[in-house]
């Protein structure tokens, strides 16, 4: 009698399991998209995925390649492709063999302020060095929208500083440092369709240590005098704050401090009113 009760109990458990509700996440949820990005694509060693704050947009580099032997971030493995997910639709792009994404993960920012995020990449041509390519989804495809032309020489790289409307004229500015390892030149351009025009530049700054995976050596703040961005000097002994207005870069602050290029800048100094923008803060241990 007691044995039959046990069997009945086990039978009931088995039946209840058979009809248990499914625990898998619903299709196209964030977890599913992350799983698809990591399982259906070959990721770079950093496995870094950008996710927009509203979780509508995801982006990662794919198809690791060693066809460009520069090793600016240590391992010589760069991206050969890009996948972007917007509103659960996957958009893929494969670079031609003479290009790589010399980068860790794509940045997401609404550069034309139309309510949809664009994808900002460091894209290198093997004989011409690094440039910046901004992609936009148009007609269900990733299109080249705006770009900083390549530096013009192989094994020359650049790193982004910030993307923001710095002078508050309604147009987003892009700031970067060209050749941060060899006399880094700080440059600023307004983001508009097509090739971007450098509006001002100043040399002697750096936001990357050769071989490091830390691309996060700049900080943007909102201060009484407007938006100020900070980068280290090339010799790593100062942090310098810049304002951009009337088409010019102006130094507004010089802070004497030794900077460790393996650590993110915002952790090395107490900035007032930093604006959180992960676009200038790409860091992998």
| Interaction site with Ca ion (CB under 5 A) | 110, 112, 114, 116, 118, 165, 167, 169, 171, 173
Please give the structure tokens belonging to residue 219. 């900080």
Q: Which long-range contacts does 38-41 make (Cβ < 8 Å, 24+ apart)? A: 41/81, 41/83
- Shortest distance, position 246 Cβ to Ca ion, whole Å: 11
Nearest to 78 by CA among 206, 213, 194: 213
Strand partners, 245: 248
Nearer to Ca ion by Cβ, of 73 and 161: the residue is 161
Q: Where are the alpha helices (DSSP H) in the chain?
A: 2-18, 30-39
Nearer to Ca ion by Cβ, of 65 and 280: the residue is 280
Nearer to Ca ion by Cβ, of 78 and 167: the residue is 167
Q: Which residues contact 139 (CB under 8 A, 6 or more apart)?
A: none
Nearer to Ca ion by Cβ, of 32 and 221: the residue is 221
- Shortest distance, position 212 Cβ to Ca ion, whole Å: 30
Nearer to Ca ion by Cβ, of 246 and 257: the residue is 246
Give per-residue burial for 103-136: e unless 16+ CB within 10 Å, then b: bbbbbbbebbeeeebbbbbbbbbbebbbbbbbbb
Torsions phi, psi for 206 (to 5 deg): -150, 145
- Shortest distance, position 118 Cβ to Ca ion, whole Å: 5
- Shortest distance, position 181 Cβ to Ca ion, whole Å: 29
- Shortest distance, position 172 Cβ to Ca ion, whole Å: 6
Q: Distance of alpha carbon 47 from its chain centroid, rounded?
A: 13
């Amino acid at each position: 009698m007691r044995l039959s009760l046990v069997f009945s109990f086990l039978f009931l458990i088995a039946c209840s399991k058979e009809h248990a509700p499914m625990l898998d996440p619903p299709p196209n949820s964030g977890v599913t998209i992350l799983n698809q990005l990591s399982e259906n694509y070959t990721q770079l060693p950093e496995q870094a995925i950008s996710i927009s704050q509203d979780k509508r947009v995801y982006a990662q580099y794919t198809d690791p390649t060693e066809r460009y032997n520069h090793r600016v971030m240590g391992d010589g493995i760069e991206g050969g492709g890009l996948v972007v997910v917007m509103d659960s639709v996957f958009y893929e792009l494969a670079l031609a063999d003479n290009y790589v994404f010399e980068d860790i993960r794509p940045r997401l920012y609404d550069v034309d302020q139309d309510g949809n995020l664009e994808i900002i990449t460091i894209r290198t041509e093997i004989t011409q060095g690094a440039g910046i390519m901004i992609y936009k989804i148009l007609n269900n495809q990733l299109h080249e929208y705006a770009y900083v032309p390549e530096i013009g020489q192989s094994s020359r790289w650049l790193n982004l500083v910030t993307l923001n409307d710095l002078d508050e004229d309604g147009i987003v500015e892009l700031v970067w440092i060209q050749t941060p390892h060899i006399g880094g030149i700080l440059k600023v351009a307004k983001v508009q369709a097509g090739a971007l025009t450098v509006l001002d530049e100043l040399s002697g700054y750096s936001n990357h240590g050769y071989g490091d995976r830390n691309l996060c050596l700049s900080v943007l703040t909102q201060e009484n005098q407007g938006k100020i961005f900070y980068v280290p000097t090339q010799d790593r002994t100062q942090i310098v704050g810049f304002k951009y207005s009337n088409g010019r870069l102006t130094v507004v602050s010089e802070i004497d401090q030794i900077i460790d290029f393996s650590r993110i800048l915002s952790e090395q100094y107490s900035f007032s009113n930093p604006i959180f923008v992960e676009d200038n803060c790409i860091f992998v241990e």
